[in-house]
Amino acid sequence: MIVGVGIDVVDVDRFVSTLERAPGLRERLFTTPERELPPASLAARFAAKEAIAKALGAPAGLRWQDATVRRVAGGPPVVELTGTVQAAAASAGVRSWHLSISHDAGIASAVAIAEG
């Protein structure tokens, strides 16, 4: 059963400009392994976190670092949840995630499907 669906689109150049203007934002939005990714991949991770939040109904109090998107060679990205995001997912009855991320032509996008 599908619990929720979320989608988000990010302009990569605008996102990178925002990170440059607010250096602390990278640490606030991303987990340590994510911070080392190239700019387009960071924008895609941000879109993924937004899509995950939307799939959960965008409850207040979610911490950006409580969701990590990991690359898997030859497979789809993996969603790892902790803390506030894990609690919101459990409360909504989410048992698994389907995530698709992409970045091309200056745009990063993500679709998240929460399944119960």
Taking the complete model, does pTM exceed 0.85, yes or no?
yes
Q: Which domain holds residue 33?
A: 2-115
Residue 86, pLDDT score: 98
- Indicate whether 23 pLDDT > 90: no
Domain of residue 18, CATH code: 3.90.470.20
101/77 Cα distance (integer angstroms): 8
Domain count, the chain: 1
> For the segment 50-100, what is each residue's pLDDT rounded down to a tens digit?
999 999 999 999 999 999 999 888 999 999 999 999 999 999 999 999 999
Strands 107-115 and 2-11: antiparallel
